[in-house]
Amino acid sequence: MKKFIANLPIKYKLIAAMLAVVITAEIITALSFQSANDTYVNEYVKESSSQIAKMIADRNVSSVDFAKTKEIQKSLENIKSFEELENVHIYDLKGNILANYDRSASLAAQPVGRESSVYFSEDGKYIFATEPIQYQNELLGMVYAKFNTKSIQIMKHEFFISTLTKLGLTLLVVVVVVLLLNKLLVKPITELSDTMEHIIKSGDYSMPQLKDTGKDEVGVLRQHFCSMMDTIKEREEERDAARKKEQTTSEIFSKVNKSSFDAIIGLDSEMRISSFNPAAERITGYTVAEAIGAPFQSLIIPKDQWQMFEEEIGRFRQTGNCKFTAQTFEAPAIKKNGEVFDAEVSVIPYRGDENSGSVVTIKDITSRKQYERELVEARRRAEESDKLKSAFLANMSHEIRTPMNSIIGFSELLTKPGSFDKNKEKYLSFIINSGKSLLNLINDIIDISKIEAGQLKVKPRIVQLNPIMNEIYISQYQINDMKNKSFELKMQKAVESDDFNINTDPFRLKQILNNLIGNAMKFTTEGFIEFGYKFSGPDKLLFYVKDTGVGMPKDKLDVIFKRFGQIEQKDDKNQTGTGLGLTISKKLVELLDGEMWVESEEGVGSTFFFTMPYDPELNTADEYGASSDGNGEASLDGKVILVAEDEDMNVAYMQEVLAETKAKVLWARNGQEAVDVMKEHPEIDLILMDIKMPVMNGYDATAKIREFNKDVIIIAQTAYALTGEKEKTIAAGCNYYLTKPIEINVLLNTLSGFLKNK
């Protein structure tokens, strides 16, 4: 049978197939319509039945409410026109029948529930409908109705006959149409078959000219055939377009590759370099010719990381992924010349049917990493500076409280009865030395503030060097004698004559040497401390301070010249001072065009060196230290001095100092008083003007006095000692400037110097 069907001509196969399809479709359609119609009719009749029951309920609301049985029965008589209605029963809430209508002899069943419902009987011959009788949502009774389904059966039967008639007519039309179209279908199919055979035999895939047969099955077949040919043509066109797109993409990638600042390196599946852009040449130092084909790791990866890289390559070959892919990471890379640099690397793998590999991007981040390291170092230095400042504050507290304890303690002892005469010289010596220590501390703080602000100035002039050295030796010898230490203080000079001159700032030179010698004394308990100078070339002097103290580790020598820097010692008794002396000294040496360094060995001792310029042609020397020389004795007989001062202790101090000068002393408690006293006593020769006073300060008072007296000598005295204060007082009209605390000799010599020729 199968063979017989297979050998049938296509026209019979088409006829049979079309008839089978059409008949099947018609039967299915007819059954579907019949089923849909049955459903529709059933729902329609149910809805009609429900509406009739609801109408009956609505008409009898008031009658049921007042139990008017006759009126209810009368209303039921009016519904005889509904032929489908078999029975109607109206019940009260107790289930009693108030009225009923029976077309047939059958009895109605009792209603179930008190809600609206519509349903068929089990045999489908009847429809039962219940409807509540309500007034304002209050249930009064129930309507129970029974309908026959004769009309439904008639409607279904009529629809079935209609459907069969239509089906027969449709089949008849289909048979006629199939027979007529058969002639139209066979020839196009034969032509299409012949064309396919020709294409298969000839291999010519050019589109043949086929007659358009419409959009039927043959037409669809023809369209599919034409579509196949179009698809072949489109694929050829797409292939050409893909080639062009690939060429364009390749050109764009080539431009990006060439213009990128980062190295872009293509790798094949074996991790060998397949492409190498200009940035890669610039960053690594390899040329394209040297790089292409070479293993990536041997060119770019340092040798100590080859094993790890080989393991990751193995993972990549097996899984197409490794720890380098899909992320950016930092790693060391190596250049052709062996230089290792910091790199930011990203690896993007690709896997294809024919080939696979990856693209590696390398960014040289050496500058960025250097900047990060500098930030870390800066943070470390800041933290170190913070620790040093904390230590500095602790030392400051110690250094301030120690002399203050001595000053206050011995001052209190002097107030006890009998103590003044017995221990006067010893107590006063302690108080004076502690006061000088406190003053030196304040001077160090002022100097370091000036250094940080870039305002520390030096005033070089021609001075005799050896008197300065002798003065330092005497003062340091006395200090050593007071401390009762068992080391020897030595001094060496390259020239013995007092006429040996250099051009320097004598005050700062003494400050440097005193700082270095004082530092040596703190850490030397026996042996010697030697200081001096010698020639270091024709135009340079080399100063030194050598001790046999505890010495310092070589890796800590730079610390001592930093602000607040001190090397921790096992013996904390030596940890005195602010840690500023050596920093200030080194800066002063640099300001005097010299340099300072230290040589030390732990447990042996230390030697500090610094240089000073020397001019061998200097043959004369200026007077040295004129402002601080003198024995403290001065006669100002006949001179009139006005002291403007608001602090009682300072007034008492001035009274004691000026008592033996035989000068006439006037007093003013504020700036305004000073102006008034000056107007009353034009014979005043000199004014000691305090700057900070109530009512009117020293600047304003000086300006007021200069308005009517240009000749009187005004010397400013102030506790302000910062840069610019002297210039400010001179600009206000003062002749000179003294900083508190004022030494007696300095005060008397200054007064004598200004008044001796007046």
CA 33 to chain centre: 74
Look at residue 539 in the predicted model and tell me its pLDDT. Answer: 85
User: Is 354 or 713 the better-scoring residue by pLDDT?
Assistant: 713
Task: Tell me which amino acid residue 604 is.
Answer: V
Architecture field, domain 373-454: Orthogonal Bundle (1.10)
Look at residue 545 in the predicted model and tell me its pLDDT. Answer: 95
Give the span between the Cα atoms of 347 and 363, in whole angstroms.
Answer: 12
User: Is 310 or 739 the better-scoring residue by pLDDT?
Assistant: 739
In this structure, what token pair is assigned to residue 485? Answer: 């230490």
User: Is 668 or 737 the better-scoring residue by pLDDT?
Assistant: 668
Percent of the chain predicted with pLDDT > 90 = 12
pLDDT tens, residue by residue, 709-753: 998 999 998 876 565 677 788 888 998 888 777 778 778 888 887
In this structure, what token pair is assigned to residue 129? Answer: 């409908």
Look at residue 644 in the predicted model and tell me its pLDDT. Answer: 94
Q: Cα torsion at 112, 114, 117, 120 (round to 10°)?
A: 10
Q: Compute φ and ψ for 359, nearest 5 degrees.
A: -115, 125
- Residue whose pair of structure tokens reads 């043949």 in the numeric block: 208
Look at residue 594 in the predicted model and tell me its pLDDT. Answer: 93
Give the span between the Cα atoms of 448 and 18, in whole angstroms.
Answer: 113
pLDDT at 16 over 70: yes
Quick check: 139 and 116 in contact, CB under 8 A? no
The fold for domain 640-755 equals Rossmann fold (3.40.50)
For residue 640, what pLDDT band results from cuts at 50, 70 and 90? very high
Give the span between the Cα atoms of 664 and 15, in whole angstroms.
Answer: 152
Give the span between the Cα atoms of 322 and 315, in whole angstroms.
Answer: 6
Quick check: 677 and 671 in contact, CB under 8 A? no
686 - beta bridge partners?
A: 641, 713
For residue 757, what pLDDT band results from cuts at 50, 70 and 90? low
For residue 566, what pLDDT band results from cuts at 50, 70 and 90? low
Look at residue 686 in the predicted model and tell me its pLDDT. Answer: 93
Report the range of poorest mean pLDDT among 391-395, 448-452, 640-644: 391-395
For residue 754, what pLDDT band results from cuts at 50, 70 and 90? confident
Kindly state the helix (H) or strand (E) to which residue 618 belongs, with its residue range: none
Helices 366-414 & 419-453 angle (0-180, nearest 10): 160
User: Is 298 or 696 the better-scoring residue by pLDDT?
Assistant: 696
Query: Dmax over Cα atoms in the chain, in whole Å?
Result: 164
Look at residue 570 in the predicted model and tell me its pLDDT. Answer: 44
Look at residue 611 in the predicted model and tell me its pLDDT. Answer: 95
Report the range of poorest mean pLDDT among 271-275, 355-359, 476-480, 573-577: 573-577
pLDDT tens, residue by residue, 169-220: 877 777 777 767 666 666 677 677 777 766 666 655 565 556 565 666 666 6
What is the domain partition of the chain in residue ranges?
Answer: 26-156, 260-364, 373-454, 457-613, 640-755
**Region of 484 on the Ramachandran plot (φ > 0 left; ψ -120 to 50 alpha; else beta):** left
Look at residue 628 in the predicted model and tell me its pLDDT. Answer: 38
CA 154 to chain centre: 88
Look at residue 155 in the predicted model and tell me its pLDDT. Answer: 75
pLDDT at 24 over 60: yes
Instruction: Calculate mean pLDDT across residues 330-356.
Output: 78
Instruction: Calculate mean pLDDT across residues 414-419.
Output: 69
In this structure, what token pair is assigned to residue 703? Answer: 């300006």
Look at residue 366 in the predicted model and tell me its pLDDT. Answer: 85
Q: Closest Cα to residue 109, out of 117, 137, 363?
A: 117
Give the angle subtended at the CA of 577 by the CAs of 571 and 580, to the nearest 5°. Answer: 125
Look at residue 363 in the predicted model and tell me its pLDDT. Answer: 86
For residue 299, what pLDDT band results from cuts at 50, 70 and 90? confident
The fold for domain 457-613 equals Heat Shock Protein 90 (3.30.565)
For residue 560, what pLDDT band results from cuts at 50, 70 and 90? confident
pLDDT at 105 over 60: no
The fold for domain 260-364 equals Beta-Lactamase (3.30.450)
Look at residue 325 in the predicted model and tell me its pLDDT. Answer: 61
Quick check: 434 and 404 in contact, CB under 8 A? yes
Percent of the chain predicted with pLDDT > 70 = 74
Q: Of the segments 13-22, 310-319, 653-662, which one has the largest average pLDDT value?
A: 653-662
Look at residue 624 in the predicted model and tell me its pLDDT. Answer: 31
Cα dihedral sign, 409-413-415-421: negative
Give the span between the Cα atoms of 207 and 210, in whole angstroms.
Answer: 9
Which residues make Cβ contacts (< 8 Å) with residue 120, sequence separation at least 6?
42, 46, 126, 127, 128, 149
Which residues make Cβ contacts (< 8 Å) with residue 202, sequence separation at least 6?
none
Report the range of poorest mean pLDDT among 279-288, 332-341, 434-443, 528-537: 434-443
For 26-156, the fitting CATH number among 2.60.40.3710, 3.30.310.50, 3.30.450.20, 3.40.50.620 is 3.30.450.20
pLDDT at 20 over 80: no
Give the span between the Cα atoms of 310 and 291, in whole angstroms.
Answer: 19
Q: Fold match between 26-156 and 260-364?
A: yes
Look at residue 62 in the predicted model and tell me its pLDDT. Answer: 72
Mean pLDDT of the chain, nearest integer: 77
Q: What b-and-e string marks burial along 319-329, b requiring 16 or more CB atoms within 10 Å of the CB?
A: eeebebbeeee
pLDDT tens, residue by residue, 570-579: 444 444 555 6
pLDDT at 287 over 60: yes
pLDDT at 454 over 80: no
Look at residue 627 in the predicted model and tell me its pLDDT. Answer: 37
Give the span between the Cα atoms of 299 and 337, in whole angstroms.
Answer: 11
Which residues make Cβ contacts (< 8 Å) with residue 702, sequence separation at least 6?
689, 714, 716, 729, 732, 733, 734
